[in-house]
Chains A and B, each alone.
Chain A
Amino acid sequence: MKNGPADRITLLAINLMLLALVIVTLYPILHVIFASFSSPAEIVSHRGLLWKPLGFSLEAYKLVFADPRIYIGYRNTLFIVVVGVALNLLMTALGAYVLSRKNVMWNKFFMIMVTFTMFFSGGLVPLYLVVKGVGLTNTLWSTILPFAISTFNLIVMRTSFQSIPDSLEESAKIDGANHLVILFRIVIPLSLPVLAVMGLYYAVEKWNGWFYASIFIQQQELFPLQIYLREILILSSTDSLSSGAAVGEQFQIGATIKYATIMVATVPILCVYPFIQRFFVKGVMIGALKG
């Protein structure tokens, strides 16, 4: 490519534009980080952009961590993520393995049946009634079992299983391996990247999930983290947290509590994000291109 002065100006302009875009995208998140460490009194009266914490105070964090709900939320969310991902991968792998075998009786029918769920669903109210009917409401399982099989993942995994050479499985079969052995000793180890990516996607989905929990679960001690966050951030119930403070301070601390809560819920994501980010990039390609 040319490297004339006009070209260099174009490049500079593109660089500046992208830099501006990064700032616009990340500033809201930076603002939250800085505000969470600021002293409550200063943040309330502050106007304009925030480029560093105003004063320094951990008061908000102390109040957030003094609330048992945050620990309960973390515990429940961890359970949902760990058990949910494990179950999802197991179920999806089992289903994908069977459906990826050629010439097995009824497989076409089952495949159509599974695919159809991607196009049509009964809707929210009937699902609620089924979950209630089998007695899963007010259990953490209500956020796991109904979503244990994701049709799209099943199809993607099936495609990936199909690409494994038949000869590998045949030789294993001649050595006397049954289907479970073939699945767990040959097929899964060979498809590990796909499984890892799917597990990560699913984990993020579970970590961020709140909607079905809010419908299926009424007991406070079973709320996942996101529902607790919703109460603090959107339904604005910071009162119970800051009730120890005097009336004037209550308003001020309430403001920083929001920021601190966001931080407490986001830090785990921020910590693992740089390491897993590239897997997600791979995942997009699996989903979008190979299909």
Chain B
Amino acid sequence: MRVYYSDVEIFEPLSEQTFPLTARLQLNIEVNGMNGLTRIWKREWPLHFMLIPGLFLVLLFSYVPMAGIIMAFQKYVPNKGLFGSPFIGMKNFQLLIDYPDIGRIFFNTMFIAVMKIAAGLFVPITIAILLNELRREWIKRTFQTLVYLPHFMSWVLLSGILVDILSPSSGIFNQVLGWFGVKPIFFLGSNDWFPYVMVASDVWKEFGFGTIVYLAALTSINPSLYEAAAMDGAGRIKQTFYVTLPGMMPIIVLMLTLNIGNVLNAGFEQIFNLYSPPVYESADIIDTFVYRMGVQQAQFGFATAVGLLKSIVSFLFVSLSYVLAYRLANYRIF
């Protein structure tokens, strides 16, 4: 077969789609007698060139810091740097295991995170089902627009508002509770209350936004299913349990599996802006602990060790979540 150089040029875009790399290499060698790699490079260099800026940033700010985790095995001294600081083996991890509060910190993290995941599934699903029962479009739309709002405000702002309304002396919330004879509660200063306040305020901020996904899933349920159910004598409640919920199941499973990766993310910004030393016992999570150790107390090696432990466990959870999402909900990130 004789193929002219000019033919190949013209059909190049086609061949990119249809021939795998090795075949193209071979074809190029056969056709042009030219080194295949050089030819591919000649054609593809603009693409690789376009990737350079992004790749550079990813390497610099994602991969170089990964090399920095060797600090976890060092007694890091800022003046000596990464290469001058002495290695101390697993001492930082030993310190971590011996640290009196470490069990509590891991427990707090998972306790708050798991409650948030559960509430973050339950509340939006319930609201979506209730909204779906309404027939008037404008009520649905207005409701949604109004309750999305807190999602767009930062935790700095919302924390300011929360501190104010939850204050035991002048806060609105305690005053309302007072009408029912409840004595003022120091929600943000009490270890009994703090984790639940975190969960409740997180739901407050996110539930509206969370309903979007479920509402979309609801619109894709075939209306004839409802008609058939009604024909069989199912009322509103039965329809909800036998038509609506099964119809939402795929998206519920997907959201649940994707959330498994968040088991160690209890919400740094929220807790950091709302906690105080008296509630460390119930509020301190891994991220806030790493922050205090690393940024405030400058124990870089130790903080990195704690962070590394979190990264590894998170890595396992996130991987598990994607595997499950793929297996159970056929979800792939790409």
Instruction: Choose, from A59-67, A116-124, A191-199, the stretch at the interface.
Output: A116-124
Q: With the chains together, A125 CA to B296 CA distance in Å?
A: 11
- The answer to whether residues A105 and B44 also contact, given A29-B149, A124-B303, A233-B160 and a CB cut-off of 8 A, is yes
The residues of B that contact A129 with a CB separation of less than 8 Å are 65, 68, 82, 300
Residue of B nearest to A106 (CB): B48
In the complex, chain A residues 141-167 whose Cβ is within 8 Å of any chain B Cβ = 145-149, 152, 154-155, 158-159, 166
Identify which of B67, B268, B311, B332 contacts A120 (C-beta below 8 A).
Answer: B311
Residue of B nearest to A232 (CB): B160
Residue of B nearest to A23 (CB): B146
Say yes or no for A11: interface residue by CB 8 A criterion.
yes
- The answer to whether residues A125 and B307 also contact, given A130-B61, A179-B47, A234-B163 and a CB cut-off of 8 A, is yes
Identify which of B54, B68, B332 contacts A130 (C-beta below 8 A).
Answer: B68
Residue of B nearest to A276 (CB): B152
B308 touches A230 (CB 8 A): no
A159 touches B154 (CB 8 A): no
Say yes or no for B182: interface residue by CB 8 A criterion.
no
Per-residue B-contact encoding for A13-26, CB less than 8 Å = 1, 0 else: 01101100110011
Chain A interface size, under 10 / 10 to 19 / 20 to 34 / 35 or more? 35 or more
B148 touches A233 (CB 8 A): no
Expressed in whole angstroms, the minimum distance between the Cβ of A190 and any Cβ of chain B is 18
- The answer to whether residues A126 and B157 also contact, given A103-B20, A179-B50 and a CB cut-off of 8 A, is no
The residues of B that contact A15 with a CB separation of less than 8 Å are 134, 139
Residue of A nearest to B25 (CB): A105
A125 touches B294 (CB 8 A): yes
Q: With the chains together, A129 CA to B162 CA distance in Å?
A: 34
Say yes or no for B100: interface residue by CB 8 A criterion.
no
Residue of A nearest to B142 (CB): A22
Say yes or no for A289: interface residue by CB 8 A criterion.
yes
Q: With the chains together, A33 CA to B332 CA distance in Å?
A: 44
Q: With the chains together, A170 CA to B172 CA distance in Å?
A: 64
The residues of A that contact B152 with a CB separation of less than 8 Å are 204, 208, 269, 273
A120 touches B315 (CB 8 A): yes
A130 touches B60 (CB 8 A): yes
In the complex, chain B residues 223-237 whose Cβ is within 8 Å of any chain A Cβ = 226, 230, 235-236
B165 touches A28 (CB 8 A): yes
The residues of A that contact B155 with a CB separation of less than 8 Å are 208
Identify which of A2, A102, A211 contacts B16 (C-beta below 8 A).
Answer: A102
Expressed in whole angstroms, the minimum distance between the Cβ of B40 and any Cβ of chain A is 6
B50 touches A97 (CB 8 A): yes
The residues of A that contact B315 with a CB separation of less than 8 Å are 119-120
Residue of B nearest to A123 (CB): B307
B48 touches A98 (CB 8 A): yes
Say yes or no for B6: interface residue by CB 8 A criterion.
no
Say yes or no for A58: interface residue by CB 8 A criterion.
no
Say yes or no for A101: interface residue by CB 8 A criterion.
yes
Say yes or no for A38: interface residue by CB 8 A criterion.
no
B213 touches A284 (CB 8 A): yes
Q: With the chains together, A159 CA to B66 CA distance in Å?
A: 27
Say yes or no for A220: interface residue by CB 8 A criterion.
no
A and B contact pairs by CB, cutoff 8 A, 25 listed: A1-B230, A18-B143, A21-B147, A22-B147, A25-B208, A95-B55, A98-B47, A104-B47, A105-B41, A124-B307, A125-B68, A125-B304, A127-B61, A129-B65, A129-B68, A145-B61, A148-B57, A179-B46, A258-B164, A262-B157, A262-B160, A269-B152, A284-B209, A289-B251, A291-B331
Chain A residues close to B by CB (< 8 Å): 1-2, 7, 10-11, 14-15, 17-18, 21-22, 25-29, 31-32, 47-50, 91-92, 94-95, 97-99, 101-106, 110-111, 113-115, 117-131, 134, 145-149, 152, 154-155, 158-159, 166, 169-170, 173-174, 178-180, 183, 204, 207-211, 215, 226, 229-230, 232-234, 258, 262, 265-266, 269, 273-274, 277, 280-281, 284-285, 288-289, 291
What are the 8 A-B residue pairs with the smallest beta carbon separation, nearest first?
Answer: A126-B68, A122-B65, A233-B160, A123-B307, A208-B154, A95-B54, A126-B65, A146-B61
